[in-house]
Amino acid sequence: MEMCKPILEVRDLYVNFYTYAGIVKAIDGVSFTVCEGETFCLVGETGCGKTVTSRAITRLVPEPGRIEKGEVIYYTPYGKINLLELPEEKLREIRGKEIAYIFQDPAAALDPLYTIGYQIAETMVEHKTVSKWKEAFIKAVEVLRSVLMPDPEKRVKAYPHELSGGMKQRSVIGIGLSNQPRIIIADEPTSYLDVTIQAQIMDLLRKLKKERKLTIILITHNMGLVAEMCDRVAVMYAGNIVELGTVEQVFKNPLHPYTKGLLRAVPNPLTKIEKLEAIPGTVPNLIYPPPGCRFHPRCSYTMDICKREKPRLVEVEPGHHVACWLYSR
């Protein structure tokens, strides 16, 4: 295994949402490290908190959410900074320049009233990647070319509604890459696309990552995608990371009952399964989460301690962590 040079480290992140119904404890003490140059995946069901976590990294959590506690350490060539304590202006400089996002729905992410060329140029001008708008528009064409947009000179003047889903997502990726970021956080980048386009986009991402030595944090619920794209994966459930390790480790040797259940529920090209199984029960209400381990109501291996105390992430084998009382005392 290679040495991990950390580029991003999330420590003990707690995020609450203050709604009229009550306080939603969405993220309940999440910690992980992302290594430079790798593709790190955050996986889990809808509502498990992976999107919120990804947003929390650059303090993009919208009202009524609040980051209660925790640190996000970003390793720059000039030293470490805690993104959660950075003044807003400095943080804004990092967003879109060193850490770039790709959102799920490219149609919604693009402002329908502006051309994509403008939106690309705008991002560059904002971060002073270029000094003049004219330059920015010329560069925008190059950006589009780099994301393999067909006929970029024409497309740069196009409005979002004039492009197909795949082209829109390429534009979003282009926007993300325009300022030469170090980290890309891609939040389910292909959920809204056809399967064939999915493959194209993922190929593109892979290519770009190699060319520019990017670190990618990929958020998805698609296990197949994980198997294809990721180096390391963290499995989230109800606001907690329940298992963390390399793709090989997690897929070949799932430790956490939830992970096992997940893998049984989807076809897994790495092992052979007889039939697909659903995990009994539903995702818990995070306003009144179950005490102790949040998975225990659905777990077949529940023990007394599971109902009382929350398990910590423990390293079971090098690089493979799990948070389950089955593996720790």
CB atoms within 10 A of CB 82: 13
Q: By CB under 8 A, how many residues form the interface with other proteins?
A: 29
Least distance in angstroms from the C-beta of 99 to other proteins: 9
Residues 116, 156: Cα–Cα separation, whole Å: 6
Report CA-CA distances (Å) from 300 to 48, 153, 241: 20, 58, 19
Q: What are phi and psi of 305, to 5 degrees?
A: -65, -25
Least distance in angstroms from the C-beta of 20 to other proteins: 9
Interaction between residue 60 and other proteins (CB under 8 A): yes
Please state the separation of Cα 233 from the chain's center in Å.
10
Residues 269, 271: Cα–Cα separation, whole Å: 6
Stretch that binds other proteins, among 69-77, 104-112, 139-147, 193-201 (CB under 8 A): 104-112
Least distance in angstroms from the C-beta of 96 to other proteins: 3
Residues 127, 179: Cα–Cα separation, whole Å: 7
Least distance in angstroms from the C-beta of 79 to other proteins: 20
Residues 190, 220: Cα–Cα separation, whole Å: 9
CB atoms within 10 A of CB 329: 6
Binders of other proteins in range 67-96 (CB under 8 A): 92-96
Interaction between residue 147 and other proteins (CB under 8 A): no
Interaction between residue 159 and other proteins (CB under 8 A): yes
Q: Which of residues 165 and 319 has its CB atom nearest to other proteins in the complex?
A: 165
Interaction between residue 113 and other proteins (CB under 8 A): yes
Identify which of 210, 211, 228 has the alpha carbon closest to the alpha carbon of residue 220. 228
From candidates 105, 135, 228, 248, binder to other proteins by CB under 8 A: 105
Q: What are phi and psi of 289, to 5 degrees?
A: -70, 155
Stretch that binds other proteins, among 26-34, 107-115, 289-297, 314-322 (CB under 8 A): 107-115
Least distance in angstroms from the C-beta of 122 to other proteins: 7
From candidates 127, 170, 232, 294, binder to other proteins by CB under 8 A: 127
Residues 16, 26: Cα–Cα separation, whole Å: 6
Binders of other proteins in range 30-59 (CB under 8 A): 58
Q: Which of residues 88 and 274 has its CB atom nearest to other proteins in the complex?
A: 88
Q: Which of residues 184 and 286 has its CB atom nearest to other proteins in the complex?
A: 184
Binders of other proteins in range 251-270 (CB under 8 A): none
Residues 320, 232: Cα–Cα separation, whole Å: 10
Residues 114, 264: Cα–Cα separation, whole Å: 45
Q: What are phi and psi of 126, to 5 degrees?
A: -60, -40
Identify which of 61, 71, 80, 105 has the alpha carbon closest to the alpha carbon of residue 6. 80
Stretch that binds other proteins, among 7-15, 68-76, 99-107, 285-293 (CB under 8 A): 99-107
From candidates 32, 40, 74, 103, binder to other proteins by CB under 8 A: 103
Least distance in angstroms from the C-beta of 93 to other proteins: 7
Least distance in angstroms from the C-beta of 91 to other proteins: 8
List residues binding other proteins (CB under 8 A).
58, 60, 62, 92-97, 100-101, 103, 105, 108-114, 122-123, 126-127, 159, 161, 172, 175-176
